[in-house]
Chains A and B, each alone.
Chain A
Amino acid sequence: MIPYTTERRPDTGVTNVTLGIWLFLASEVMLFGALFSAYALLRTSAASWPSGRDVLNLPIGWANTLVLILMTTSIWRARGASLAGVRRWLAIGSLLALVFLVLKSIDYSTEIRHGIVPSLNTFVAMYFTLTGLHALHVIGGLIANLWAAIGARAAGDALTAGRVHALSLYWMFVDAVWLVIFVLLYLS
Protein backbone atom coordinates (compact mmCIF):
# COMPACT_ATOMS: atom_id res chain seq x y z
CA MET A 1 0.00 0.00 0.00
CA ILE A 2 1.22 3.52 -0.80
CA PRO A 3 2.28 5.20 2.47
CA TYR A 4 0.50 8.26 3.90
CA THR A 5 -2.74 7.71 2.00
CA THR A 6 -4.82 8.25 5.12
CA GLU A 7 -2.48 9.88 7.64
CA ARG A 8 -0.68 13.20 7.07
CA ARG A 9 2.99 13.15 6.11
CA PRO A 10 5.09 14.81 8.80
CA ASP A 11 7.12 16.81 6.24
CA THR A 12 4.37 18.18 3.99
CA GLY A 13 1.59 18.29 6.56
CA VAL A 14 -0.90 16.73 4.11
CA THR A 15 -1.68 13.21 2.93
CA ASN A 16 -0.23 11.96 -0.34
CA VAL A 17 -3.76 11.93 -1.77
CA THR A 18 -4.21 15.65 -1.07
CA LEU A 19 -0.75 16.50 -2.39
CA GLY A 20 -1.42 14.43 -5.52
CA ILE A 21 -4.75 16.11 -6.28
CA TRP A 22 -3.24 19.59 -5.80
CA LEU A 23 -0.40 18.74 -8.23
CA PHE A 24 -2.94 17.37 -10.69
CA LEU A 25 -5.06 20.53 -10.36
CA ALA A 26 -1.96 22.69 -10.92
CA SER A 27 -1.40 20.92 -14.25
CA GLU A 28 -5.09 21.34 -15.09
CA VAL A 29 -4.91 25.09 -14.37
CA MET A 30 -2.04 25.33 -16.87
CA LEU A 31 -4.04 23.38 -19.47
CA PHE A 32 -7.12 25.59 -19.20
CA GLY A 33 -4.90 28.65 -18.72
CA ALA A 34 -3.34 28.05 -22.14
CA LEU A 35 -6.82 27.82 -23.69
CA PHE A 36 -8.01 30.98 -21.95
CA SER A 37 -4.86 32.69 -23.20
CA ALA A 38 -5.73 31.57 -26.74
CA TYR A 39 -9.26 32.93 -26.16
CA ALA A 40 -7.86 36.33 -25.07
CA LEU A 41 -5.57 36.41 -28.12
CA LEU A 42 -8.30 35.48 -30.61
CA ARG A 43 -10.97 37.72 -29.10
CA THR A 44 -8.77 40.80 -28.80
CA SER A 45 -7.38 40.45 -32.30
CA ALA A 46 -10.73 39.62 -33.96
CA ALA A 47 -12.27 42.31 -36.13
CA SER A 48 -15.72 41.31 -34.88
CA TRP A 49 -16.78 38.95 -32.10
CA PRO A 50 -20.34 37.66 -31.75
CA SER A 51 -22.20 37.90 -28.46
CA GLY A 52 -22.78 34.54 -26.80
CA ARG A 53 -26.29 35.69 -25.85
CA ASP A 54 -27.24 35.81 -29.53
CA VAL A 55 -25.57 32.57 -30.61
CA LEU A 56 -25.81 30.17 -27.65
CA ASN A 57 -28.71 28.79 -25.63
CA LEU A 58 -28.57 30.92 -22.47
CA PRO A 59 -31.34 29.11 -20.48
CA ILE A 60 -29.48 25.78 -20.85
CA GLY A 61 -26.27 27.55 -19.84
CA TRP A 62 -27.93 28.87 -16.67
CA ALA A 63 -29.47 25.45 -15.95
CA ASN A 64 -26.07 23.78 -16.35
CA THR A 65 -24.49 26.34 -14.02
CA LEU A 66 -27.10 25.60 -11.36
CA VAL A 67 -26.74 21.82 -11.79
CA LEU A 68 -22.96 22.01 -11.50
CA ILE A 69 -23.12 24.16 -8.35
CA LEU A 70 -25.62 21.74 -6.77
CA MET A 71 -23.41 18.82 -7.79
CA THR A 72 -20.32 20.33 -6.18
CA THR A 73 -22.35 21.15 -3.06
CA SER A 74 -23.45 17.53 -2.79
CA ILE A 75 -19.83 16.31 -3.00
CA TRP A 76 -18.85 18.81 -0.29
CA ARG A 77 -21.73 17.49 1.83
CA ALA A 78 -20.15 14.04 1.53
CA ARG A 79 -17.08 15.31 3.40
CA GLY A 80 -17.32 14.25 7.02
CA ALA A 81 -20.45 12.15 6.41
CA SER A 82 -20.81 8.54 7.50
CA LEU A 83 -20.02 5.79 4.99
CA ALA A 84 -23.71 5.47 4.07
CA GLY A 85 -23.94 9.28 3.81
CA VAL A 86 -20.88 9.40 1.57
CA ARG A 87 -22.40 6.82 -0.78
CA ARG A 88 -25.71 8.71 -0.85
CA TRP A 89 -24.15 12.13 -1.56
CA LEU A 90 -21.78 10.69 -4.18
CA ALA A 91 -24.75 9.02 -5.89
CA ILE A 92 -26.67 12.35 -5.89
CA GLY A 93 -23.57 14.11 -7.23
CA SER A 94 -23.16 11.51 -9.97
CA LEU A 95 -26.78 11.90 -10.98
CA LEU A 96 -26.38 15.67 -11.21
CA ALA A 97 -23.19 15.26 -13.27
CA LEU A 98 -25.20 13.03 -15.60
CA VAL A 99 -27.92 15.71 -15.83
CA PHE A 100 -25.22 18.25 -16.75
CA LEU A 101 -23.95 15.98 -19.54
CA VAL A 102 -27.45 15.29 -20.86
CA LEU A 103 -28.22 19.03 -20.96
CA LYS A 104 -24.91 19.69 -22.70
CA SER A 105 -25.64 16.97 -25.27
CA ILE A 106 -29.06 18.53 -25.98
CA ASP A 107 -27.33 21.91 -26.27
CA TYR A 108 -24.73 20.55 -28.73
CA SER A 109 -27.24 18.67 -30.89
CA THR A 110 -29.52 21.75 -31.14
CA GLU A 111 -26.58 23.95 -32.10
CA ILE A 112 -25.27 21.50 -34.70
CA ARG A 113 -28.78 21.19 -36.19
CA HIS A 114 -28.85 24.98 -36.58
CA GLY A 115 -25.48 24.98 -38.34
CA ILE A 116 -23.52 26.25 -35.33
CA VAL A 117 -20.44 24.10 -35.89
CA PRO A 118 -16.73 24.75 -35.10
CA SER A 119 -15.94 25.66 -38.71
CA LEU A 120 -18.49 28.53 -38.60
CA ASN A 121 -16.21 31.07 -36.89
CA THR A 122 -13.51 31.44 -34.23
CA PHE A 123 -16.05 32.11 -31.46
CA VAL A 124 -17.90 28.83 -32.07
CA ALA A 125 -14.62 26.91 -32.46
CA MET A 126 -13.48 28.31 -29.09
CA TYR A 127 -16.89 27.47 -27.56
CA PHE A 128 -16.73 23.82 -28.66
CA THR A 129 -13.09 23.46 -27.59
CA LEU A 130 -13.58 24.91 -24.10
CA THR A 131 -16.97 23.34 -23.31
CA GLY A 132 -15.92 20.02 -24.87
CA LEU A 133 -12.79 19.79 -22.75
CA HIS A 134 -14.83 20.80 -19.71
CA ALA A 135 -17.44 18.11 -20.48
CA LEU A 136 -14.61 15.54 -20.65
CA HIS A 137 -13.63 16.63 -17.13
CA VAL A 138 -17.23 16.16 -15.97
CA ILE A 139 -17.19 12.63 -17.45
CA GLY A 140 -13.89 11.90 -15.64
CA GLY A 141 -15.30 13.23 -12.36
CA LEU A 142 -18.47 11.19 -12.81
CA ILE A 143 -16.42 8.01 -13.25
CA ALA A 144 -14.34 8.91 -10.15
CA ASN A 145 -17.55 9.60 -8.16
CA LEU A 146 -18.99 6.19 -9.04
CA TRP A 147 -15.66 4.46 -8.34
CA ALA A 148 -15.46 6.09 -4.88
CA ALA A 149 -19.13 5.34 -4.11
CA ILE A 150 -18.95 1.70 -5.19
CA GLY A 151 -15.62 1.06 -3.46
CA ALA A 152 -16.48 2.95 -0.25
CA ARG A 153 -17.44 -0.10 1.79
CA ALA A 154 -14.35 -2.08 0.80
CA ALA A 155 -12.01 0.90 1.26
CA GLY A 156 -13.24 1.83 4.72
CA ASP A 157 -13.85 5.17 6.43
CA ALA A 158 -10.34 6.69 6.35
CA LEU A 159 -9.51 5.91 2.73
CA THR A 160 -12.95 6.97 1.54
CA ALA A 161 -12.65 10.28 3.42
CA GLY A 162 -9.39 11.00 1.55
CA ARG A 163 -11.00 10.15 -1.79
CA VAL A 164 -14.01 12.36 -1.07
CA HIS A 165 -11.70 15.20 -0.04
CA ALA A 166 -9.81 14.89 -3.35
CA LEU A 167 -13.08 14.68 -5.28
CA SER A 168 -14.45 17.80 -3.60
CA LEU A 169 -11.34 19.76 -4.62
CA TYR A 170 -11.58 18.42 -8.17
CA TRP A 171 -15.25 19.35 -8.53
CA MET A 172 -14.61 22.79 -7.11
CA PHE A 173 -12.03 23.28 -9.86
CA VAL A 174 -14.43 21.96 -12.55
CA ASP A 175 -17.06 24.38 -11.19
CA ALA A 176 -14.65 27.33 -11.27
CA VAL A 177 -13.65 26.57 -14.87
CA TRP A 178 -17.31 26.35 -15.90
CA LEU A 179 -18.07 29.71 -14.28
CA VAL A 180 -15.22 31.33 -16.24
CA ILE A 181 -16.42 29.65 -19.48
CA PHE A 182 -20.00 30.72 -18.77
CA VAL A 183 -19.04 34.35 -18.21
CA LEU A 184 -16.65 34.50 -21.20
CA LEU A 185 -18.79 32.67 -23.74
CA TYR A 186 -22.42 32.88 -22.69
CA LEU A 187 -22.70 36.23 -20.91
CA SER A 188 -20.27 38.48 -22.76
Chain B
Amino acid sequence: MTRGSLTTLAIWLAAAAGLHACPVCFQMDDSAVGAGVRAGVVVLLGVTAVVLGGFVKFAVRVAKKDRHT
Protein backbone atom coordinates (compact mmCIF):
# COMPACT_ATOMS: atom_id res chain seq x y z
CA MET B 1 0.00 0.00 0.00
CA THR B 2 1.41 3.41 -0.93
CA ARG B 3 1.90 6.25 1.51
CA GLY B 4 -0.82 8.26 -0.24
CA SER B 5 -3.35 5.45 0.15
CA LEU B 6 -2.51 5.09 3.85
CA THR B 7 -2.99 8.83 4.38
CA THR B 8 -6.34 8.72 2.56
CA LEU B 9 -7.44 5.74 4.67
CA ALA B 10 -6.42 7.52 7.87
CA ILE B 11 -8.35 10.68 6.92
CA TRP B 12 -11.37 8.60 5.93
CA LEU B 13 -11.36 6.72 9.26
CA ALA B 14 -10.91 9.94 11.20
CA ALA B 15 -13.84 11.54 9.37
CA ALA B 16 -16.12 8.52 9.80
CA ALA B 17 -17.23 9.55 13.29
CA GLY B 18 -18.14 12.99 12.01
CA LEU B 19 -20.37 11.50 9.31
CA HIS B 20 -22.68 10.05 11.97
CA ALA B 21 -23.73 13.61 12.76
CA CYS B 22 -25.19 14.03 9.26
CA PRO B 23 -28.67 15.44 9.94
CA VAL B 24 -30.20 13.99 6.78
CA CYS B 25 -29.37 10.40 7.78
CA PHE B 26 -29.66 10.45 11.55
CA GLN B 27 -31.79 13.37 12.72
CA MET B 28 -34.95 13.26 10.67
CA ASP B 29 -36.09 9.64 10.99
CA ASP B 30 -39.35 10.45 12.74
CA SER B 31 -40.10 13.81 11.20
CA ALA B 32 -42.46 14.45 8.29
CA VAL B 33 -39.66 16.25 6.46
CA GLY B 34 -37.49 13.13 6.72
CA ALA B 35 -40.30 11.00 5.28
CA GLY B 36 -40.73 13.57 2.51
CA VAL B 37 -37.05 13.53 1.64
CA ARG B 38 -37.08 9.73 1.51
CA ALA B 39 -40.19 9.71 -0.72
CA GLY B 40 -38.59 12.27 -3.04
CA VAL B 41 -35.38 10.27 -3.28
CA VAL B 42 -37.28 7.03 -3.97
CA VAL B 43 -39.27 8.67 -6.81
CA LEU B 44 -36.14 10.21 -8.33
CA LEU B 45 -34.23 6.92 -8.05
CA GLY B 46 -37.14 5.09 -9.71
CA VAL B 47 -37.25 7.54 -12.62
CA THR B 48 -33.47 7.44 -13.03
CA ALA B 49 -33.51 3.62 -12.94
CA VAL B 50 -36.16 3.49 -15.68
CA VAL B 51 -34.21 5.88 -17.93
CA LEU B 52 -30.87 4.16 -17.34
CA GLY B 53 -32.57 0.78 -17.85
CA GLY B 54 -33.75 2.03 -21.23
CA PHE B 55 -30.21 3.07 -22.16
CA VAL B 56 -28.82 -0.33 -21.07
CA LYS B 57 -31.51 -2.15 -23.06
CA PHE B 58 -30.63 -0.11 -26.13
CA ALA B 59 -26.88 -0.77 -25.67
CA VAL B 60 -27.54 -4.53 -25.34
CA ARG B 61 -29.70 -4.43 -28.44
CA VAL B 62 -26.96 -2.67 -30.45
CA ALA B 63 -24.33 -5.12 -29.16
CA LYS B 64 -26.50 -8.13 -30.12
CA LYS B 65 -27.11 -6.66 -33.56
CA ASP B 66 -23.37 -6.12 -33.95
CA ARG B 67 -22.65 -9.80 -33.11
CA HIS B 68 -25.11 -11.01 -35.74
CA THR B 69 -23.62 -8.87 -38.54
CB-based contact A36/B62 at 8 Å: no
A4 to chain B, nearest CB (A): 14
CB-based contact A38/B40 at 8 Å: yes
CB-based contact A44/B47 at 8 Å: no
- The tally of residues in A whose CB lies under 8 Å from a CB in B reads 22
B55 lies within 8 A of chain A by Cβ: yes
Chain A residue at minimal CB-CB distance from B44: A37
- Report 12 cross-chain contacts, Cβ distance below 8 Å, ordered by A residue: A12-B58, A13-B61, A13-B62, A29-B51, A30-B48, A34-B44, A37-B40, A41-B36, A44-B35, A44-B38, A45-B33, A46-B36
Mark out the residues of chain B between 10 and 69 whose CB falls within 8 Å of any chain A CB in the assembled complex.
31-44, 47-48, 50-51, 54-55, 58, 61-62, 65-66, 69
Q: What per-residue 1/0 map shows which CB atoms of A21-47 lie under 8 Å from chain B?
A: 010001001100110111111111111
**A43's contact among B31, B36, B69, by CB below 8 Å, is which?**
B36
Q: How far is the CA of A38 from the CA of B47 in the complex (A)?
A: 13
A115 lies within 8 A of chain B by Cβ: no
CB-based contact A40/B65 at 8 Å: no
Q: Which residues of B contact A (CB under 8 A)?
A: 31-44, 47-48, 50-51, 54-55, 58, 61-62, 65-66, 69
Q: How far is the CA of A12 from the CA of B60 in the complex (A)?
A: 10
**Hey, which chain A residues are within 8 Å of B54, CB to CB?**
22, 26
A54 lies within 8 A of chain B by Cβ: no
CB-based contact B36/A30 at 8 Å: no
B49 to chain A, nearest CB (A): 10
**Hey, which chain A residues are within 8 Å of B33, CB to CB?**
45
Q: How far is the CA of A13 from the CA of B68 in the complex (A)?
A: 12
**Hey, which chain B residues are within 8 Å of A40, CB to CB?**
36, 39-40, 42-43
Chain B residue at minimal CB-CB distance from A36: B43
**B35's contact among A13, A33, A37, A45, by CB below 8 Å, is which?**
A45
B61 to chain A, nearest CB (A): 7
CB-based contact A37/B69 at 8 Å: no
CB-based contact A45/B37 at 8 Å: yes
A10 lies within 8 A of chain B by Cβ: yes
CB-based contact A41/B40 at 8 Å: yes
